[in-house]
Structure 1
């Protein structure tokens, strides 16, 4: 429930001037009692309000469709929120060959959707189902079986340079070079790049200031210093693209381009991902996705001895981000290793 879904304040039923007992224990007028009731409803709505991105909403909708297929297949009610229903969901998805990470996402999305439909989800249900997912992951590891594509590999600066250099100096090539270098420099999510306006990218003497208005953790303005290499300099790539495309300051920073070199309007997050993957495959790199740039900036910055706070601010990670901790652990496990210096 959100504040804008609340209807008009309900009628008290008490005549003006009558007194009612407020929850605080004091006597108040009927008008004041109605006001306090209204404020209580708004407070409750504020507690329940959770803004969600379009990507999150699409993900929940996808998870719900998987749940619908499951309940239809096993013949149980659509709104079954019991521990047995959730455990069965995990088993059913496992038999379908889904990866543990996919099953966990489907489980969470289904539980959220059930609660939003007024279903009293048993608190032990998702917890016990999560244990089944962990057991499946162990079983697959012991059997040497890998499901799903796994985590996207971190893109290195050298790989970024290879990809950028290989791009042709066509309109599409210039766009993709700007996507790569600006995206890597700000550790951008695909949706952030897709939602940038041309005026959000500000050129300064020291580099670029990029104003991302739609980040997962809110608006942010990372700075990208001038590059030391011509193929990985975000400022150079952006200026070349902006000039070639004659961008409208109030229009999108990145647009779709057809096979004839015609610009067709705002690019999507998926289009950003396709451009990155295509540039990687063109130089023989496999498994590179849009997320590889975020992982790549984090690991490269850590190798350059930048601290956690600096890296988190650059990429818009939450202070307690498990994903960022994992990226930095990959670097730190070699920088401070227990086997170093022990005579092995």
Structure 2
């Protein structure tokens, strides 16, 4: 007769079955704990935790304090230190995640009350006319993209940066997406480019970029010129980094941002970042009459992305304006 064991709420089951159920319970627990995160997210959480460590050390409270008072004090401490409300909110949520991962029972009222305090700080700063942080990256216009591309020299680095600008704008790329492209991920067709981003914030995607009408903003032309000049290995990086004008290996997401910012600075544009290409495609496409779904698919935005809604609102507020046609 098979040996019996207690399992669950006192139920007798065969020992072999009990082992199987125990293994299943382990898998279920692993599934509950499974939360894949990108390298950027992990770096962000690590940075947020470092800020939290500084905070508790300065105010003299336990490191693993998950109470409402600890979170409210964090907002006040960061606010007095001159941090922007958006930065404080990110730090606060990141610290809460790290605390939970350390087994701390974070009181639900902590982040809630802290968020209300952040809103109060944002309103006070607005009333006082004080702006903290660099703010949102401005959307790159087609005219600005053309200026930046045209100003780049026809050197190997200049050809690379022109390809970064035009391919990045055309696919509304995140910096990490461009940095992680392999040369074979960019497929040249008669109609333009098919770019296979193997992974991203919303998963893999393959946006199509049509041939450009202007020589300085044509992604296909820019990519072909760069790929030929750099003699890219199909299985190697799509974009390389340079050290004193010598190619040294794959570029980083930060390197993408630097290339865009440098090209903007060269033509006198202020505040342009790598994200400006992404915002620029969204606004330019909306101005051209494209609908929300088409733009969301091109840029890999989530169906209800608040960020995309904000980009489109910038355009829509003029296209359908309540003050138009009323005799003002």
Provide TM-score, normalisation by structure 2: 0.97
Q: Distance in 2 between matches of 1:24 and 1:207?
A: 63
**Structure 2 counterpart of 1:42:** 27
Q: Which of structure 1's runs of 4+ aligned residues deviate more than 6 A? A: none
Compared CA separation, residues 24 and 329, structure 1 to 2 (3 A): farther
Mapped to 2, the partners of 1:33 and 1:337 lie a distance apart of 67
The C-alpha deviation readout for 1:77-108, integer Å capped at 9, x for no partner, is: 10001000000000000000000010001001
Instruction: Say if 1:243 and 1:38 are closer, same or farther in 2 by CA, change over 3 A.
Output: same
TM-superposition CA deviations, 1:286-319 (whole Å, max 9, x none): 0000001110001111111111111111101111
In the TM superposition, residue 30 of structure 1 has moved relative to its aligned partner by 2.3
Q: Distance in 2 between matches of 1:45 and 1:336?
A: 50
> How far apart in 2 are the matches of 1:48 and 1:315?
30
Alignment partners' CA distance in 1, 2:238 and 2:62: 47
Q: Give the deviation of 1:169 after TM superposition.
A: 0.3
Offset from partner CA, 1:308-341 (integer Å, 9 cap, x none) = 1111111011111111111111111111122222
CA distance in 2, matches of 1:158, 1:27: 75
Instruction: Tell me, in whole angstroms, the C-alpha distance in 2 between the residues paired with 1:46 and 1:309.
Output: 32
Segments of structure 2 that go 5 or more residues without pairing to the other structure are none
Q: Could you say if the C-alpha distance between residues 247 and 77 of structure 1 is closer, same or farther in structure 2, counting changes exceeding 3 Å? A: same
Change in CA separation of 1:237 and 1:27 when aligned onto 2, cut-off 3 Å: same
C-alpha separation between the residues in 2 aligned to 1:155 and 1:24?
A: 62
Deviations 1:236-293 (A, max 9, x none): 0000000000001111011112224x11111111010000000001001000000011
Deviation at 1:214, TM superposition (A): 2.4
Q: Distance in 2 between matches of 1:230 and 1:222?
A: 21
- The farther-off stretch of 269-278 and 312-321 is 312-321
State the TM-score, normalizing by the size of structure 1: 0.92
Give the Cα–Cα distance (whole angstroms) in 1 for the partners of residues 260 and 167 of structure 2.
Answer: 12
1-side partners of 2:225 and 2:181: how far apart? Answer: 17
Quickly say closer, same or farther: Cα 1:228–1:78, change in 2 above 3 A.
same
Q: Whole-Å Cα distance in 2 between the matches of residues 318 and 37 of structure 1?
A: 38
Tell me the alpha carbon deviations over residues 165-222 of structure 1, each in whole angstroms, 9 at most, x when there is no partner: 0000000100000000000000001111111011110000000001111211111111
Residue equivalent to 1:15: none
Q: How far apart are residue 48 of structure 1 and its match?
A: 2.5
Distance across 2 between alignment mates of 1:314 and 1:56: 23
In structure 2, relative to structure 1, the CA distance for the partners of 1:31 and 1:332 (3 Å cut) is: same
Query: Helix, strand or coil: the match of 1:224?
Result: strand
For 1:24 and 1:191, the matched residues in 2 are separated by 49
Pairing partner for 1:298 from 282, 285, 292: 282
Between 325-334 and 132-141, the greater mean CA deviation after superposition: 325-334
Matches within 5 A, 1:8-19: 18-19=3-4
- Work out which of the residue numbers 66, 75, 82 in structure 2 matches 1:90: 75
Check 1:230–1:20 CA distance in 2 against 1; reply closer, same or farther (3 A cut): same
CA distance in 2, matches of 1:339, 1:80: 52
Q: Measure, in 2, the Cα distance between the counterparts of 1:130 and 1:95.
A: 16
Q: CA RMSD in A?
A: 1.4
Q: Against the structure 1 CA distance between its residues 234 and 24, is the aligned structure 2 distance closer, same or farther, given a 3 Å change threshold?
A: farther
Aligned with 1:126: secondary structure? helix
Worse-matched range after superposition: 333-342 or 51-60: 333-342
Distance, in Å, in 2 between the alignment partners of 1:309 and 1:23 is: 49
